[in-house]
A and B are shown apart, each in its own frame.
Chain A
Amino acid sequence: MTETNLRLLKDIDEPGLHTIDVYERRGGYSALRRAVTELEPDEVLEQISEAELLGRGGAAFAMGMKAGFVPKGDTDNYMLVNADESEPGAFKDRVLMQKTPHLLIEGCLIAARAIDAVQAIIYIRGEYEHQADILERAVAEAYERGYVGKDILGTGWDLEFVVHRGAGAYIAGEEMALLDSLEGKRAHPRMKPPYPANVGGGVYQGPTLVNNVETLCNVPYIINFGVEEYRKLGTEQSTGTKVVSVSGNVRRPGNYEVPMGVTCREIIYGLAGGPPEGREVKCFLPGGSSSPALTGDEGLDLRFDFETLEAAGSMLGSGSVIVVDDSQPLVPFALRLAEFYRHESCGKCVPCREGTNWTVKMLERIDSGEATPMDFELLAQVQTNIIGNCLCLLGDSMAMAVGSMLEKFRDEFERHAEEARARNEAALVEQSAPELAAAPSIGPM
């Protein structure tokens, strides 16, 4: 069995890990001390780059490269943590912030050092109230110990640290919308370029490095133990470990930190216990609700890393594995997902706003038996028409997941509609002509 929880979640069950005393006792803030007192900002950046740490928020962009885009000099740079974890199936950042907030703060400080930031901001999902409280206390503790604020660790480096609570929109987790939301505007994605790291593109026009919580939690390990040690786990391209949130039809749902490159079967069956007795994995979404579905047959023996899953037509995304077993009808599942995206679409661009809305309406008809045979093709085409045509990835996220399910389980969609239609007719007959309904063998009309 795969060894789990080697790094980020290593001490996760340690009582009081969220307090600075326990964290320091466990070696916390040693990486920060090393980063600010022994290394130059450029060296910190170099180590992150060499570790080839890929973003854990979904886009898998190399953190070192992104940080390298931030200009240094006379601009006010910002370090921004995207903690707006809101996607169905994703709950890894929550556990990190709740249990080991100082790990995030330390990683964030090191990254801020690398880009010479003047302010670090954690934008946390509004519903994560408990976690935000914990983070705020942790930041206050870090201020008290001199890890944050003026003249950090006596080096003359100043950095302010803010925890900012969101107000309840999934789209605010899209990095460009997050910037608008943070500035007090409607969370609408901005167009790129300029990218956040560019002058004029980030928060308050300043160059901004935006990273996911888990990504930053990897940084102290890299600084503490070096690039070579860091790369000992994971694959050549997907380095290190990944915290996987497993949910859906499994016996032991939860967060598991695994080395990149273990098989999906290992995660779903080995760690999460697989579906309940007597059922098989019908399909699973390996990278959260926005990733294309993989059937059990094609996906279970794939390695869980960025490159393998992308090659298989899906993605690792945020690493949230949603498992669907053979007892679960797919149409209501797809409908539930589509409803989420329709509700969370910001309404700015046309394909997402209208496409998610149309998709929901069609899936409702399929689910309730009012679909026509043409609807399946239309549903598929609408997904194609959304993908690649939107301002941000929210619309694509729905279209990729729903589109892949429809493509791979077209039979089941059609059967679902047919069965629902038959049920409707039977009910109608029962209502309007109970004597006929009582008669045997009337059969489908």
Chain B
Amino acid sequence: MPRPEQNFISFEIDGREVRAPEGMSLVDAAKNGDVEIPVFCYEPKLGQAVGACRMCLVEIEGSPQLEIACKTPVEDGMVVVTTSDSVKQAQNAIVEFLLINHPLDCPVCDKGGECPLQDITFGWGPGRSRFIEPKRHFEKPLELSPLIAIDRERCILCYRCVRFSGEVAEDYQLVFLERADSTYVGTHQGHPYVAPFSGNIIDLCPVGALTSNAYRFRARPWDVENGGSVCTLCPSQCNVTFTVRDDAKVLRVFARDNAKVDDGWLCDRGRFGFQAVHAPERITRPMLREGGALHEVSWERALSEAAGGLERAGAGTAALVGGETTNEEGFLLQRLMREGLGSPHLDSRPGGALDPEQARALGRPELAAMVPDIDYADAVVVVDTDLQDESPILDLRVRKAIRRFAVKVVLVGGRPGALDPPADAIVRTTPDGGEAALGALAAALAEVEPVSVPPSDRRVPRDPAQTPTGGLDERQHGEPERQGESAGRERVDDLARRAGTSAEAVRNAAAALRAAGPTVVLWGERLSDGPRGRQGVAALLALARALEIPETEGSGLIEIPSGTNARGLREAGCLPGLGPGLLDAPQAGRPAAEIAAGLGEDLSALVLLNADPLRTHPDRAGWKRALEATTFVVAFADFESETVAEHADVVFPAESYAEREGTVTHADGRLQRVRQSIAHPGEVRPVWSVLAELGARLGAPADPPFLTSPMVTRAITEAVPFLAGLTLEELSGKGKRWQERDAAEAAPEAPSLPQADELEEPPEPVAPSNGDLRLGTTRSLWAGRETEHAPILRFLAPHQRVELSPQDGRALGVESGDEVEVSRNGSSVRGIAALRDALPPRSVYLIEGTAQDSATELLDGESTTVTVRRVEAE
């Protein structure tokens, strides 16, 4: 759907002349004139107004009766009155009606003090009740789920939660039951409402009917302060507000509306994961390994031991950077490594190297889509990722785009995911068939369309002023070369076969995309992982070229990385061989897998900055060997993971995201501020200051020394040309995409995008022998540290789930629910089998990053096949 044009009109409200975009809901337009029209059910984020609460009745000239403002689009010359006697009478009536069955237990209600029903009653209500009958009663409070309590007596049946469940999250679990004044909100057969986004209904509820079990009875609004920040638990980087008590304790997290990032929604991991900040098992003091065990030591001791150990290792030091690391921390670490220790070996990507030229190509502004482009695109391509698990808020975004704007969705990948049902075309591949599938799609797009569909006239060229010149320019004129038709068709057929899919599926997808204008491609980092990662990215870039992404306004790529701040770390210089600003580092470094191989050989020390290779990196066995062979390990960590407990020599306590100060970069290039909301617990110090201190001790002092986090930010903006001049004030509360600043012209240039027929030939699909299966991995929203350390989320911590096709299940004698063992080369994990109809045969999918039996046990960076067998009950 094209981006709507805003045509401003003027109308009169309560005697005031007000301007507003034509067609805007009167409730919103009235705010332009500082007129508040009270509402309960109206919430534009939920889609169409439903008109259930009747609170927004107003007088509109020319209408014989009162009209509800929420469903009234403003028109030019409209005359609205919200203060007349008849409007007042209606408002009084609605408030009186609402309160007759409301318990008015405000003194013991969590919502008291921040309750729209209280506010509206005070502002627009009659002030007294004439209702003397007994009120309606329900059993209360009940657990709607382990996360949410429901008090049906307080509920005013505004429809918001039910609409959220049905129309935003599309989980269709919450419904109205019974009717008339017996109506209540519930679930089918009373099942708990457990879903990835269930917590949003707490924010939506305009009364105290839905309350958070984590926050219930912990504080009143006047006991707490709210601080805005960014959730760094996943790459979505949602804007959040921390509710803080006594400057020390986070009590609650709720959404801080930013339409350009999150649309005001949060996933339950982001909403409830904050409890991990206060987990008693958190590391809050520096530790040192002495006599084989970790002991708490003073900061000075820890710092001098760390500095000494790293100095001894010198250029033999390597570093891994975890995804939650801020730009500032990453920048300081690469500075410490490169300038202090003279070692180029640091990597922020767990899955494999990223070619520097490709990194620069992917960083180009004309290839970058921003999140709101999803809404207004004609088509969205999702490659090798399940958004609901890997960037949940973008899953909601794509659903919204489909539902409201009829965006076409094409899925490419091996594993059936949450977006399968609404997708328009699905190219189902083998687990590592992404490269071949994208190549096939790019080639198919170049095919002559048998039925002539005119290319969409919606591919509006970018504003030349917005497009940085150079580098990619010649492409804009180069017509894609038309090959001989039959050769092209054969190529599509062959690539589709190599991807393990059908040429028909590829052509269907191509047909959907060919007719589309602006197209956004959301691609999972795993496409660029492993030995064929470079070719995977090349295929992606070829697809971008075939889709004319660089030339089309509103088109672009958005990466779904494995780490929260993957883009920021890349741009701050945390890739081997790439310094700050994606510029070539003076010395090429080794990627993570080669670091593992080199540890115990020519590498002797390892710095782990919020990184846990035994949990997140492929080839767990290799990393185990490597860590054992490493002489000296310095870890910045918040919990005693296996890596820390068994291998770290010096442990610095890491900050939680509620304590951090710094910036992170969204995958769409938006820099956002992470703000400190609570004091550091125990002896935790800011990580940037520890890194700065180590830098100063190890030959990379700064002049002037880094005394504050903003000084580090400033150093980044000086080192990264395309961030030049960026200030924290400019980022303000909602962040800023660097591509939208003038300095974006300084983005490093990249070679032109490959054409579909220039791509390397992908390998033949792996042919598993003896009933073995091709291993694919996936992530789970709930496989993470938060689910283990936040008490309220513990019930969601996943066990390993082994997804098989029913055919393979039958062949192996495995049924859903059976315990199975998956093994390869002596490594094995156990999990519970789940047979999925939509899964292609001969593939098996396991979850990465579970606490036990993680799929990373089975990965060694190579495409791989595994043996699955049923575990007989003992």
Listed in ascending order, the chain A residues whose CB lies under 8 Å from chain B are 169, 186, 191, 342-351, 353-358, 361-362, 365, 378, 385-386, 388-391
Contact A344 B180 (CB under 8 A): yes
Per-position contact with A for B167-185: 1 when CB-CB < 8 Å, else 0? 0000000011011111100
Contact B98 A354 (CB under 8 A): yes
Closest Cβ–Cβ distance, residue A233 to chain B (whole Å): 32
Contact A357 B181 (CB under 8 A): yes
Closest Cβ–Cβ distance, residue A290 to chain B (whole Å): 16
Interface-central residue, B100, B159, B175, by most chain A CB under 10 Å: B100
Closest Cβ–Cβ distance, residue B356 to chain A (whole Å): 51
Contact B179 A351 (CB under 8 A): no
Contact segment of B89-97, B204-212, B649-657: B89-97
Interface residues of B in 182-221 (CB under 8 A from A): 182-183
Contact B66 A388 (CB under 8 A): yes
Q: From the candidates A347, A362, A378, A391, name the one contacting B179 in the complex (CB within 8 A).
A: A347
Contact B180 A385 (CB under 8 A): no
Q: From the candidates A351, A353, A365, name the one contacting B180 in the complex (CB within 8 A).
A: A353
Contact A186 B176 (CB under 8 A): yes
Per-position contact with A for B41-77: 1 when CB-CB < 8 Å, else 0? 0000000111111110100000001100001000000
Interface-central residue, A354, A358, A378, A391, by most chain B CB under 10 Å: A354
Closest Cβ–Cβ distance, residue A349 to chain B (whole Å): 5
Contact A356 B93 (CB under 8 A): no
Q: From the candidates A345, A355, A391, name the one contacting B52 in the complex (CB within 8 A).
A: A391
Minimal Cβ-Cβ distance residue in B for A391: B51
Contact A348 B130 (CB under 8 A): no
Minimal Cβ-Cβ distance residue in A for B133: A361
* B interface secondary structure, majority: loop
Contact B65 A351 (CB under 8 A): no
CA of A411 to CA of B626, assembled, Å: 96
**What chain A residues lie within 8 Å of B156 (beta carbons)?**
350
Listed in ascending order, the chain B residues whose CB lies under 8 Å from chain A are 48-55, 57, 65-66, 71, 89-90, 93-94, 96-98, 100-101, 130-131, 133, 156-157, 159, 175-176, 178-183
27 contacts between A and B (CB under 8 A): A186-B175, A191-B71, A342-B180, A342-B181, A343-B180, A344-B179, A344-B180, A346-B180, A347-B157, A347-B181, A347-B182, A348-B52, A349-B53, A349-B54, A353-B180, A353-B183, A354-B97, A355-B97, A357-B181, A358-B97, A358-B131, A358-B133, A385-B93, A385-B97, A389-B57, A389-B94, A391-B51
CA of A191 to CA of B49, assembled, Å: 8
CA of A354 to CA of B53, assembled, Å: 11
**What chain B residues lie within 8 Å of A390 (beta carbons)?**
54
CA of A191 to CA of B66, assembled, Å: 15
Contact B179 A346 (CB under 8 A): yes
Contact B66 A354 (CB under 8 A): no
Contact B100 A354 (CB under 8 A): yes
Contact B54 A391 (CB under 8 A): yes
Closest Cβ–Cβ distance, residue A388 to chain B (whole Å): 5
CA of A386 to CA of B65, assembled, Å: 13
CA of A320 to CA of B71, assembled, Å: 34
Answer whether A354 and B101 are a contact pair too, CB < 8 Å, given A342-B180, A361-B133, A385-B93: yes
Minimal Cβ-Cβ distance residue in B for A387: B65
CA of A385 to CA of B98, assembled, Å: 13
Closest Cβ–Cβ distance, residue B373 to chain A (whole Å): 26
**What chain A residues lie within 8 Å of B100 (beta carbons)?**
354, 357-358
Known: A350-B156, A350-B157. 15 other contacts (CB 8 A): A191-B71, A344-B179, A347-B176, A349-B51, A350-B53, A350-B54, A351-B97, A353-B157, A357-B181, A358-B100, A358-B131, A361-B133, A362-B133, A389-B57, A391-B51
CA of A390 to CA of B57, assembled, Å: 10
Minimal Cβ-Cβ distance residue in A for B159: A348
Minimal Cβ-Cβ distance residue in B for A191: B51
Answer whether A389 and B66 are a contact pair too, CB < 8 Å, given A347-B176, A348-B159, A349-B54: yes
Contact A378 B130 (CB under 8 A): yes
CA of A128 to CA of B826, assembled, Å: 70
**What chain A residues lie within 8 Å of B53 (beta carbons)?**
349-350
**What chain B residues lie within 8 Å of A356 (beta carbons)?**
180-181
Closest Cβ–Cβ distance, residue B153 to chain A (whole Å): 14
Minimal Cβ-Cβ distance residue in B for A348: B52
Contact B71 A351 (CB under 8 A): no
CA of A195 to CA of B253, assembled, Å: 42
CA of A390 to CA of B71, assembled, Å: 14
Minimal Cβ-Cβ distance residue in B for A357: B181
**What chain A residues lie within 8 Å of B181 (beta carbons)?**
342, 345, 347, 353-354, 356-357
**What chain A residues lie within 8 Å of B178 (beta carbons)?**
347
**What chain A residues lie within 8 Å of B93 (beta carbons)?**
351, 385-386, 389
Minimal Cβ-Cβ distance residue in B for A193: B71
Contact A389 B90 (CB under 8 A): yes
The 3 A-B pairs at the shortest CB distance, nearest first, are namely: A347-B183, A385-B93, A354-B97
CA of A46 to CA of B3, assembled, Å: 41
CA of A245 to CA of B66, assembled, Å: 34
Contact B176 A385 (CB under 8 A): no
Closest Cβ–Cβ distance, residue B295 to chain A (whole Å): 63
Contact B54 A389 (CB under 8 A): yes
**What chain A residues lie within 8 Å of B131 (beta carbons)?**
358
**What chain B residues lie within 8 Å of A342 (beta carbons)?**
180-181
Closest Cβ–Cβ distance, residue B173 to chain A (whole Å): 15
CA of A349 to CA of B183, assembled, Å: 11
**What chain A residues lie within 8 Å of B97 (beta carbons)?**
350-351, 353-355, 358, 385
Answer whether A357 and B180 are a contact pair too, CB < 8 Å, given A191-B71, A348-B159: yes
CA of A388 to CA of B59, assembled, Å: 12
Minimal Cβ-Cβ distance residue in A for B92: A385
Closest Cβ–Cβ distance, residue A247 to chain B (whole Å): 25
**What chain A residues lie within 8 Å of B101 (beta carbons)?**
354, 357
CA of A191 to CA of B93, assembled, Å: 21
Closest Cβ–Cβ distance, residue A441 to chain B (whole Å): 34
CA of A378 to CA of B752, assembled, Å: 78
CA of A217 to CA of B100, assembled, Å: 45
Closest Cβ–Cβ distance, residue A173 to chain B (whole Å): 14
CA of A191 to CA of B53, assembled, Å: 12
Contact B49 A169 (CB under 8 A): no
**What chain A residues lie within 8 Å of B179 (beta carbons)?**
169, 344-347
Contact B157 A191 (CB under 8 A): no
Minimal Cβ-Cβ distance residue in A for B131: A358
**What chain B residues lie within 8 Å of A391 (beta carbons)?**
51-52, 54
**What chain B residues lie within 8 Å of A186 (beta carbons)?**
175-176
Contact B50 A191 (CB under 8 A): yes
Contact B54 A385 (CB under 8 A): no
**What chain A residues lie within 8 Å of B96 (beta carbons)?**
385
**What chain B residues lie within 8 Å of A385 (beta carbons)?**
89-90, 93, 96-97
Contact B54 A351 (CB under 8 A): yes
Minimal Cβ-Cβ distance residue in B for A365: B133
Closest Cβ–Cβ distance, residue A378 to chain B (whole Å): 6
Contact A345 B90 (CB under 8 A): no
Contact B98 A350 (CB under 8 A): yes
Closest Cβ–Cβ distance, residue A332 to chain B (whole Å): 19
Closest Cβ–Cβ distance, residue B394 to chain A (whole Å): 27
Answer whether A347 and B180 are a contact pair too, CB < 8 Å, given A354-B97, A358-B100: yes
Contact A345 B180 (CB under 8 A): yes
CA of A374 to CA of B46, assembled, Å: 42
Closest Cβ–Cβ distance, residue B7 to chain A (whole Å): 20
Contact B94 A351 (CB under 8 A): yes
CA of A358 to CA of B181, assembled, Å: 10
Minimal Cβ-Cβ distance residue in A for B48: A191
**What chain A residues lie within 8 Å of B51 (beta carbons)?**
191, 349, 391
Minimal Cβ-Cβ distance residue in A for B162: A186
Minimal Cβ-Cβ distance residue in B for A341: B180
CA of A391 to CA of B53, assembled, Å: 9
Closest Cβ–Cβ distance, residue B422 to chain A (whole Å): 16
**What chain B residues lie within 8 Å of A358 (beta carbons)?**
97, 100, 131, 133
CA of A231 to CA of B587, assembled, Å: 97
CA of A386 to CA of B94, assembled, Å: 9
CA of A389 to CA of B175, assembled, Å: 25
CA of A297 to CA of B98, assembled, Å: 39
